Structure 1
Amino acid sequence: MKALFLVLMLAATLAQAAEPALSAADTLNAAQRARPVLPKSSGPHVLRAQVLLDRAHFSPGEMDAAYGSTMRQAIRGFQKLRQLPVTGNVDEATWRQLEQDQAPVLEVYTLTAQDVAGPYRPVPADMAGKAKLPALGYASLLEALGERFHCSPELLRRLNPGKTMQRAGQQLLVPNVALAKPLPKASSALIDAKEGTLTLLDADGTPFAQFPASTGSKHDPLPEGRWQVRGVATNPEYRYNPKLFWDAKANDSKARIAAGPNNPVGLAWLDLSIEHYGIHGTPEPGKIGKTQSHGCVRLTNWDVMQVVRALGRGAMVLMQSS
């Protein structure tokens, strides 16, 4: 009964007016009733697919219960792996494959005293302001929870209407992403600027995981070719050098930015064998795959940590734009 109550909460907050609450509840609890997920769709069916894709290591990026460009690429990558028609839609055949994972899509998380205490502080937009902080931690509890559960802060609000999220012991409904199995070691990675993805491959060249990525811009195009991972750093400091950025302000100066999830390179940096280029995290997960970068390959913080564990020093990274 408790599980059903929680699912009905989700239905009430996510279901569109045309979708009855019972239908939304059945979608999350009964695989056989899941509806197709198509472009421009939103609601419980989309969230269900996002969580299952995330746990299958075909990341939809920041989950928000809405079909967007990063979800489309996740679906396509999953369909290629499972040798399904590559449509970008979660059709009946794709649902059957996704729902081999039958674990609950949502779980209850209880806020701890540490969650509530933080510390949290606003993050300045400019590098000079960032350089004054002793750490680049989260700006709010909602931001921290969003990263932990791979979703937008707005989705957490919609899943938990009327809850302040300011009290230890408060129970929240969150995407159940903790059940994802650890990734095996990858032999190489393929970064495709046209697709906006980073794909991990095994020794036979078979893909087994895919993540949305921001991969450069017309000012700083992705450096095509084969490169190697020279080193890996987690929770890195960032050394800002305005000479390396075409859009740096005239009065900018070099700066050391402390480590933390809101550091410009996020929670990890994989150094590549081309100077000044790497694979790294980001403080803005909602922009991954949707905005351009300064040439480096950006992933969400939770995705880059998976890549760090799978892609070791010496691994080959192929970068292509078409």
Structure 2
Amino acid sequence: MFRPFSVARFAIALLLVSAAPAVAAGLDAAAINDVAAPPAKLPDRGQLNAFVARLEILLDRAHFSPGEIDGKLGDNAQKALRAFADANGLSFDKAVTPELWSGLTTASEGPAIVSYTIVDADVKGPFAKRIPARMESMKSLPALGYTSPREALAEKFHMSEALLQALNPGQKFDKAGETIAVANVVDAGKPPQVARVEVDKTRQALSTFDAAGKLLGFYPATVGSAEKPTPSGTLKVTAINKNPTYRYNPKYAFKGVRSKTPFTIRPGPNNPVGVVWINLSGEGYGIHGTPDPGKVSKAESHGCVRLTNWDAQRVAAGVAKGTPVAFIDSATSSATATR
């Protein structure tokens, strides 16, 4: 049955159609891979940009994590860039110098964007229909899985869903055997042993070091909150739990949680602590993943140290029981140690 299409609805539809290509204009695998030199000045914040996408991928591969790779120049990317520059005795202010760019491009090999063939494991699920906002509502779910293959694939390659979709227009990501463009960040090598971890409460970052004081990795983090600040001093790793069950203790009295009795939330990447929990010697404190990678260092935690799921896995792979974790501020940080 034909229904009249109002002028207003037509105008809105036309606006959406005309705006959609602009978001991804010039942003494809070739555009990102072909970036040969940095621009004279940094691109505008919040705008999808091929140079920024390649920059974030290079930083991730050098273990100076920009957090979620989204093709936009945000605080986390700039934080990682500054840390890389400091660690290598280079300068960074309002532009990426040729020396800094050269240091990044020579730190790893291969194109920034590669082709990936979706496999059965990527699409088989089970997927959650939705993840409730309230913790109390999560306790009844059988698992806290991904909500879609697109979310799972974006996290697998350290990307935002928006960037993954922009690189693969029209793709639904739900069929094994189809080829998509993804960030080239999968690192199968064995991580080096971490001798010490530093959590910079002012800088909102976590750094790992080897026994000689060499900086191994730098990661943006959400560190505590006014409601429940992180501790001071040095704690130690006491356990590493993969795919943890989250247990809520009502004595924590987290904002927005009304339950007066303990409850548990089953494992999964959308669990409140993500896919890994690094338990620390302080009561109730840990380093863990998150279901919201785009919010790392941009939203408060419940007193712990929150990383993206993939960064938490990198840290967990390098630490062991007894590894010291120092909580400091920027004035005493040694994160600028040489690599």
**Structure 2 stretches of 5 or more lacking a match?**
1-20, 331-339
TM-aligned CA distance change 1:27 to 1:254, over 3 Å: closer
Q: Of 4, 14, 26, which residue of structure 2 is paired with 1:15?
A: 26
Q: Of 47, 50, 65, which residue of structure 2 is paired with 1:44?
A: 50
Write the deviation string for residues 137-182 of structure 1: whole angstroms up to 9, x where unpaired: 1111111111100010011110011222222222111111114744
| Structure 1 position 129, deviation (Å) | 2.3
Question: Partners in 1 of 2:95 and 2:260 — Cα distance?
Answer: 46
TM-score when scaled to structure 2?
Answer: 0.84
Report the equivalent of 2:109. 102
Give the alignment of 1:1-322 within 5 angstroms.
Answer: 13-15=24-26, 25=30, 28-29=33-34, 31=36, 33-35=37-39, 38=42, 40-41=44-45, 42-87=48-93, 89-100=95-106, 101-121=108-128, 122-179=130-187, 181-251=189-259, 253-322=261-330
| Structure 1 position 118, deviation (Å) | 1.4
TM-aligned CA distance change 1:169 to 1:135, over 3 Å: same
Question: Partners in 2 of 1:246 and 1:265 — Cα distance?
Answer: 14
Report the equivalent of 2:12. none
Q: What secondary structure, in the 3-state scheme, does the structure 2 residue paired with 1:173 have?
A: strand
Q: Report if the CA contact (8 A) 1:37-1:91 is conserved.
A: no
Q: What secondary structure, in the 3-state scheme, does the structure 1 residue paired with 2:82 have?
A: helix
Q: Report if the CA contact (8 A) 1:104-1:176 is conserved.
A: yes
Bigger Cα displacement from structure 2, 188-197 vs 118-127 = 118-127
Question: Partners in 1 of 2:34 and 2:126 — Cα distance?
Answer: 37
Question: Partners in 2 of 1:234 and 1:50 — Cα distance?
Answer: 27
Q: Report if the CA contact (8 A) 1:37-1:46 is conserved.
A: no
Q: Report if the CA contact (8 A) 2:43-2:49 is conserved.
A: no
Q: Report the AA paired with residue 155 of structure 1.
A: L
Which of structure 1's runs of 4+ aligned residues deviate more than 6 A? none
Q: Report the AA paired with residue 215 of structure 1.
A: V
Structure number, greater radius of gyration: 2
RMSD: 2.3
Question: Partners in 1 of 2:85 and 2:182 — Cα distance?
Answer: 26
**Structure 1 stretches of 5 or more lacking a match?**
1-9
TM-aligned CA distance change 1:179 to 1:305, over 3 Å: closer
| Structure 1 position 130, deviation (Å) | 1.3
Q: Report if the CA contact (8 A) 1:40-1:68 is conserved.
A: no
Question: In the comparison of the two structures, how many residue pairs are matched?
Answer: 306
Q: Report if the CA contact (8 A) 1:60-1:212 is conserved.
A: yes
